[in-house]
Structure 1
């Protein structure tokens, strides 16, 4: 497992490369949920999500030979965008493998940033193709199964601990688990009594399945929230969740989309359903711990288009 010292080292590497995103009280969400809410606005990060942190630290760690050969990543959207953009900034050739379920905007953005984009029919096929390209000499930048990437994502938690007031409970979305692993490491080190809650959507429950089984296992993916759709977590991220996370809650796709609309209306931020899922989960946390809780929400990304959200809202009857 990584340590808070690893997260602090990642923060030093990231200086000047990424944004220290705002940590703010949210009066609108406080009124909506009936409990004090503070938000960490990672949707304002470079490339629109926290993924820029992990991609940048990994790219900065490359040897000259690895830089010359280039890098490869698999992504459901945000990791691919982040790697493509930051590789372009740092002068490294990047290949991004995405399943066809990835948002069209993510595919277009990665390509426009200069990356070579390859599409596969499924997420497992995307991971398999990444391994083939790795064997061919490219350096993988895994979205969550890499201690450097996890430590870099943990800088979100380090900033949250430094910038927020008193918090009792922090909610973090889970795809492959890199964000929650890093954030939990940093927050539990800096604020030992804090509770960390993970959130997944139905049809993208890789961490829930791992915790139930006792180790990472493959899961069937059906959620529309493609940025949370990892075919499994890793042993690395599972170990952190098992040790540091209070519980992992599951919400429906419809609830995640409604949460996106609530964030727009009440928090005044345009987030994606991977962040919208935090609101229905927050209500469940409050049912367990009581209304005196002081909640922190990691608003992880904002790379959903208005057309995407409109289509999902129509599909699920969200208003």
Structure 2
């Protein structure tokens, strides 16, 4: 388990390499949800998501031999972009493994940064290829099974807790492999012990909720359109944090996540991806459970979705 001291150390390490993203009240979302809402706009982070924090923290931790060997990452999109861009900034060679279902924009962005992109038939195959490349000598920058990465993702929560003027009661965080919620929960609960932390997943990418039900990480079948949340399993590291620090993990449909993306654009004036859009339907469920006196905090985790992607999903689910 990481603690707030680990997160504070990570904040010092990555300072100057990442953006301290805005934490602001959202009148539009407050009106939509009927409760005060503060948002942490991590979609304004370098590379368009929080993933830049963990990626650069891990790269900065490498010794000379590891730097010379080059790094490899597996990703549904955002982690790969972050590793590619941050590796280029630090003059490191990077290989990124993505499933063929990853957003085309993510592949193009990683390649444009200078990374070698390898495509695999699904996330299970992508993780298998990651293992092969690790055995060939590349250094793994894991998206969630690494305490260095978890602590760096926790800097999102550290900033959120320190920068908000609101007395938050509930913070909602999207969950893929679980590094973000693990780090955020460790930081926020240390700074504001009474705050409840809620995870949000989409149907067909339910690795954390299934782990919590099973008492530990289990493999899951992936079918969600939200590739950036589609981890085939969480890690023991992230599971332990969620089990100890998270109130519950809520699961919403892909259609609800896309509707949330449209609502974020319309009401919050931010262009987010469905991995962040899923927070809005979950927020309604949280309010149903805890009452309308709640003061919500939403981590808007990323904005790397193209207009054609979102419009295509909206058409698919009859939301236009």
- Paired residues, number: 319
Q: Residue 310 in 1 paired to residue 306 in 2?
A: no
Structure 1 equivalent of residue 152 of structure 2: 152
Query: Within 1, Cα distance between the matches of 2:234 and 2:248?
Result: 15
Q: CA deviation at 1:278?
A: 0.1
Structure 1 equivalent of residue 247 of structure 2: 246
Structure 2 equivalent of residue 169 of structure 1: 170
Query: Within 1, Cα distance between the matches of 2:138 and 2:314?
Result: 40
Runs of 4+ in 1 over 4 A off after TM superposition: none
Gaps (5+ residues) in structure 1? none
Map residues 266-281 of structure 1 onto 2, 5 A cutoff: 266-281=267-282
Structure 2 equivalent of residue 76 of structure 1: 76
**Secondary structure of the residue that 1:73 maps to in structure 2?**
strand
**Secondary structure of the residue that 1:9 maps to in structure 2?**
helix
Gaps (5+ residues) in structure 2? none
Q: CA deviation at 1:58?
A: 0.2
Map residues 41-60 of structure 1 onto 2, 5 A cutoff: 41-60=41-60
Query: Within 2, Cα distance between the matches of 1:124 and 1:234?
Result: 14
How far does the alpha carbon of each residue in 1:96-142 deviate from its partner, in whole angstroms, 9 at most, with x for none?
A: 00000100000010000000000000101101111111111111000
**Secondary structure of the residue that 1:298 maps to in structure 2?**
strand
Structure 1 equivalent of residue 109 of structure 2: 109
Structure 2 equivalent of residue 211 of structure 1: 212
Structure 1 equivalent of residue 190 of structure 2: 189
**Secondary structure of the residue that 2:16 maps to in structure 1?**
coil
Query: Within 2, Cα distance between the matches of 1:248 and 1:318?
Result: 25
Structure 2 equivalent of residue 223 of structure 1: 224
Query: Within 2, Cα distance between the matches of 1:190 and 1:131?
Result: 37
Structure 2 equivalent of residue 2 of structure 1: 2
Q: Residue 259 in 1 paired to residue 248 in 2?
A: no
Q: CA deviation at 1:218?
A: 0.3
Structure 1 equivalent of residue 40 of structure 2: 40
Query: Within 2, Cα distance between the matches of 1:34 and 1:215?
Result: 36
Q: Residue 141 in 1 paired to residue 141 in 2?
A: yes
Query: Within 2, Cα distance between the matches of 1:161 and 1:122?
Result: 36
Query: Within 2, Cα distance between the matches of 1:46 and 1:236?
Result: 26
Structure 1 equivalent of residue 99 of structure 2: 99
Structure 2 equivalent of residue 66 of structure 1: 66
Structure 1 equivalent of residue 235 of structure 2: 234
How far does the alpha carbon of each residue in 1:45-93 deviate from its partner, in whole angstroms, 9 at most, with x for none?
A: 0000000000000000000111011000000000000000000000010
Query: Within 2, Cα distance between the matches of 1:178 and 1:317?
Result: 33
Query: Within 2, Cα distance between the matches of 1:86 and 1:43?
Result: 16
| TM-score of the pair, normalised by structure 1 | 1.00
| TM-score of the pair, normalised by structure 2 | 0.99
Q: CA deviation at 1:226?
A: 0.4
Query: Within 1, Cα distance between the matches of 2:112 and 2:261?
Result: 27
Structure 2 equivalent of residue 19 of structure 1: 19
